[in-house]
Chains A and B, each alone.
Chain A
Amino acid sequence: MAEEREINLINDADLIKQAQNGRSTAFKALVDRHKEKLYYLCLDLTGKHHDAEDLSQDVFIKAYKNLSQFRGDAQFSSWLYRIAVNTHLNQRRKKSVTAMHSSEKMDVIHWEGYDTAAAENPEARAQAGLIQQHLDEALENLSAKERCVFVLRHYDDFPLKEIAQIMDVSEGTVKSTLFRGIKKLQRSLSFYKQDLGLETDHARL
């Protein structure tokens, strides 16, 4: 317990140095410190608990293997996020290559059915406590990159410039991807229009 208290006082940079020198307790302390935020990012990216758990653990394993390459010129959390985004996009890419046709067809069927039902009786669905499911499904409708950008900006509050660094693209690309993503979300949630007050003209910054 005393060691745990002591290690909690050490900053990330020093813990990383200790972990780089092979001290496993230092790496465990880094995991304890960042696991929650990383897990929730992974949950936002994947939408499923088990996928989020696997992805977040893959990220820590990659971080452990490549710890010697961490130069400390960025936040450790940003580095983890970068690994998470790249790993997730790579996994998605591989999956989409192996199951391209079937998954696309399934998506279309799924979304057609969903939109029809929602348009018929949106209030009833919302009242039935399905609003969270709708929001998750709206996220599902984004491409992997749109979802990454949106999640990083909207839920993890990363500035656009930093998202550009994490995803290794230009800031302009981040903005256009985000714009496209928000428009898609808007369409997915269009049955909430009345509920959101979107029919009234009250726009203000």
Chain B
Amino acid sequence: MRDCKQTEERIIDALYGELSESEQRQMEQHLDQCASCRQAYADMAATLNRMGQRTHKDPGPQFWDGYWDKLEEKLNREVNPKSTILKWNGWAARTLAAAAILVIGIWLGRSTQHNNTPSPATTHGLSAEQVELAAYNQRTADYLQRSKVLILGLINFENGSDDPFTLNTPKQRQISEDLLKMAADIKKEDNGQTHTRLNKLIADLEIILMQIANLEAEHDMDAIEMVKSGVDRKGILLKINLEEMKQAKTSPKSENLPPHAAI
């Protein structure tokens, strides 16, 4: 009886050849003497033999050829949801990117003429501190929006297309360097308020901007992919949007300022 119990425990090892030599000898000896264990073993072996006759249907070359494309689409949807939404919009996204590049050009021109001194708007019923804070917020908003536009242009870029709005790497690098300088200025300014979330976002953005500033060649897709994945991982676009919403809410009467009063 003890041998029968042991045989049952080892039957799986025996069926799949996972017994040591001595264990296998013991089992053979027992099976020679015990008809019931011999039958149990034979039944299970025959079942495995039958199950071994099961075959797979090949889903065909079309399935295998399209496998990566389907997976990539799902990956974009799940891992880079923002970029995919824009990709789906096709022309709309490209038009947005093109417009963004134009706007960056205009802003770049302006950003070289930054004037930090309060404008005559200080006389429009606002204190000097309020105007200073509004100017700070305006510069921060500019910085965030330019960064967003730069990143959107990059994450919507698709290699190999004849897109007339294709990437212009030297220009992107230049814009990134300018934005890095702006970030340094914003960080230097101390208007007596703590901006923990904003400072964290600026620090995250600095890494992304530095990566863009260091793009080496035209259409260096691996490096661009790295930037995209960093943007996604750190949730940069979401954080920019949140910061913009926060600023729109808390900006002290900035609507009282004449247009571009802070620039």
Interface residues of A (CB under 8 A from B): 21-25, 28, 31-32, 35-36, 39-40, 43, 49, 53, 57, 60-61, 64-65, 131-132, 135-136, 138-139, 150, 153-155, 159-160, 175, 178-179, 182-183, 185-186, 189, 192, 196-198, 201-205
Tell me whether B45 is interfacial, beta carbon within 8 Å.
yes
Report the bound CA distance from A160 to B78 in whole Å: 35
Tell me whether B1 is interfacial, beta carbon within 8 Å.
no
Report the bound CA distance from A12 to B137 in whole Å: 49
Chain A residues with CB under 8 Å of B48's CB are 154, 182
- B52 A23 Cβ-Cβ under 8 A: no
- A135 B74 Cβ-Cβ under 8 A: no
List B residues 119-146 near A (Cβ within 8 Å). Answer: none
Chain A residues with CB under 8 Å of B246's CB are none
Chain A residues with CB under 8 Å of B16's CB are 153, 160
Report the bound CA distance from A197 to B38 in whole Å: 14
Q: A61-B71, A203-B42 are in contact. List 10 more A-B contacts (CB 8 A).
A: A36-B64, A53-B59, A61-B75, A65-B78, A136-B54, A139-B51, A154-B52, A175-B12, A198-B42, A198-B43
When C-beta atoms are compared, the residue in chain A nearest to B16 turns out to be A153
**Most B-side CB within 10 Å, residue of A32, A132, A182:** A182
Tell me whether B111 is interfacial, beta carbon within 8 Å.
no
- Range class of the B interface residue count: 35 or more
Known contacts A64-B79, A203-B38; is-contact A185 B51 (Cβ 8 Å):
yes
Tell me whether B245 is interfacial, beta carbon within 8 Å.
no
When C-beta atoms are compared, the residue in chain B nearest to A183 turns out to be B44
- A25 B222 Cβ-Cβ under 8 A: yes
Chain A residues with CB under 8 Å of B63's CB are 53
B68: which of A28, A53, A159, A185 is its contact (CB, 8 Å)?
A28
A154: which of B24, B51, B57 is its contact (CB, 8 Å)?
B51
